[in-house]
Structure 1
Amino acid sequence: MTETPDYPYYAGEPTLLGARQWLILMAALALGFAGLVLIPLGTFPLDLVPALLFLGIPLLALRWVAGPHWAALFRPVGFRQVGQMVLFAVLTLAGSMAVALILKQFVSFSDNPVSLQVGEMTALELAGRLIPTIPQLIGEELFGILPFLAVLWLCITRLGLSRRTGIAIALVISALIFGAAHLPTYDWNFGQALIGIGSARIFLTLAFIATRNLWVSSGAHILNDWTGFLFAFALGHAPIDTES
């Protein structure tokens, strides 16, 4: 068995990124996110454009700062990794539901507008809506994992903290950043975005922590979100019993 490699970029494996490189990556994430939220969505395939920008800009920046080591986030995928995707998708879904049940006792929830739209779509429209989510959700994984690695680098190389402490701090801060990015989606509901979405981000980041493979966390993310979309679609097209 081969030993699971360390996290990339923060400690010189396979290359060490410095403050300037991390700032470039964070700026690229912000630019990609701006493209995702500011470019008006059209119909398929035009709605692929903001999703591809959201994914492509950070990847290009990573290629720039890490050179040939840009692909260190992506490890091979086989049957084991597919099983890990399913496992972490289930854990994310179950964990998110548990957090939501607790959180609902204290804050009101806002509906996800995409889920509301999905319930009224035809099957063909649903397929056209799901396809752009593939690059978008891989981009969301970069949006979650690169800040995790950046904070880990900061904690260890600049603050002198232990690796375990750095991982814990990076996990929480990257989850809060990810949750904050969803504030407009949920009508600036801070509890739902920071705690609800942030907790889901923690489960997905744990997939990367366990495997060091962004393909696994991306697959888990896609399975998790598509489960919600397909459930909303099925609910919106369920036969209505008109008998009293």
Structure 2
Amino acid sequence: MREHQFPAMPGLNDSDYYGLERKSAGDFPFYRQDPHALSGRSWGLILLGVALGFAVMTAPIGFYTTTAGGFVPAILFPLIPLAVLAMVAGKGWRALFRTPTRRDFLLMVTIAGTNILVSVTVALILQHVFKMNENPVNSVLVEASNTARILFYLKTLPQLFGEEVVSILPFLAILWFCHEKLTMTRKQALISAWLCTALIFGALHLPTYDWNFLQCFLVIGTARIILLSGYIITKNIWVSTGAHIINDWLLFTLMVLLHGGGHAGI
């Protein structure tokens, strides 16, 4: 996809950037000043699209349990909110996507490795304090055939991309609200949006982990903070998506090879 960069907006100084960001990547799209800012109504529609995509993904429909049917919600999950974004932003929706560079691929691996190290450490510490629930995917993959495992890995490609879409769009919406409506500084709005997105992401995983609030908000939320850094650094959704795929595929594969429980997948 053709690269769309948003250079620093007028009035945006070097001191406004958060320390992790690549200044060469420019500013975030859609949240400040014309012509790229979206209205409150537009953000409301986008968030409805995010909610609809998640509802379709998690709907208890029998067809989803079939081999082919499982790909349908995984594809609609990111497609629905992106379609709404395209409706309200026109061609501007492409601003989420940039052509990854070699430097970006190295960053994906670094973020995935960091996330695995930090998430496992947090999980090991917290399991001494409260019960940790296993991801139900673990037992399914251990007992699955190699063909079923391959199909599962393929299905996770659009699904994990969807998790980035439904994280980054709310992140940008909160960034807009904090900066434009609450008149926070850019750094304050960025950090607020980053933390709020982690809480939202953790909440989305509550059904998966049997409504274990501490596990979802502390372990899964921590993982989202790290994975979202890929987008914050580069303004490129492919970077956070790539890091997420590497992260989960490594954990799934390790779990299968060990034939054990573990906490595979974020």
Q: Give 1:44 shift.
A: 2.5
TM-score, L = length of structure 1 = 0.93
The residue that corresponds to 2:101 in the other structure is 78
The residue that corresponds to 1:185 in the other structure is 208
Identity of matched residues, %: 43
| Unmatched 5+ stretches in structure 1 | 238-244
Q: Give 1:199 shift.
A: 0.5
| Unmatched 5+ stretches in structure 2 | 1-21, 261-266
Q: Give 1:102 shift.
A: 2.1
Q: Give 1:43 shift.
A: 3.1
Opposite residue 186 of structure 2, the aligned amino acid is: R
80-89 or 152-161: bigger deviation: 80-89
Task: Answer yes or no: is 1:53 the counterpart of 2:97.
Answer: no
Opposite residue 206 of structure 1, the aligned amino acid is: S
- Choose the corresponding residue for 1:170, options 189, 193, 202: 193
Q: Describe the SS at the equivalent of 1:157.
A: helix
- Choose the corresponding residue for 1:32, options 43, 53, 76: 53
Q: Describe the SS at the equivalent of 1:77.
A: coil
Mapped to 1, the partners of 2:75 and 2:189 lie a distance apart of: 31
Q: Give 1:42 shift.
A: 2.2
Mapped to 2, the partners of 1:14 and 1:208 lie a distance apart of: 22
TM-score, L = length of structure 2 = 0.86
Runs of 4+ more than 2 Å apart: 39-45
- Choose the corresponding residue for 1:123, options 115, 122, 146: 146
The residue that corresponds to 2:14 in the other structure is none
Mapped to 2, the partners of 1:147 and 1:95 lie a distance apart of: 24
183-192 or 7-16: bigger deviation: 7-16
Taking only aligned residues, the RMSD between alpha carbons, in angstroms, comes to 1.6
The 3 A distance-change label for structure 1 pair 14 and 82 is farther
Mapped to 2, the partners of 1:200 and 1:33 lie a distance apart of: 19
- Choose the corresponding residue for 2:218, options 167, 187, 195: 195
Mapped to 1, the partners of 2:38 and 2:178 lie a distance apart of: 14
The 3 A distance-change label for structure 1 pair 89 and 14 is farther
Opposite residue 54 of structure 1, the aligned amino acid is: F
Mapped to 2, the partners of 1:220 and 1:104 lie a distance apart of: 25
Q: Give 1:210 shift.
A: 0.8
93-102 or 1-10: bigger deviation: 1-10
Opposite residue 76 of structure 1, the aligned amino acid is: T
Mapped to 1, the partners of 2:226 and 2:23 lie a distance apart of: 24
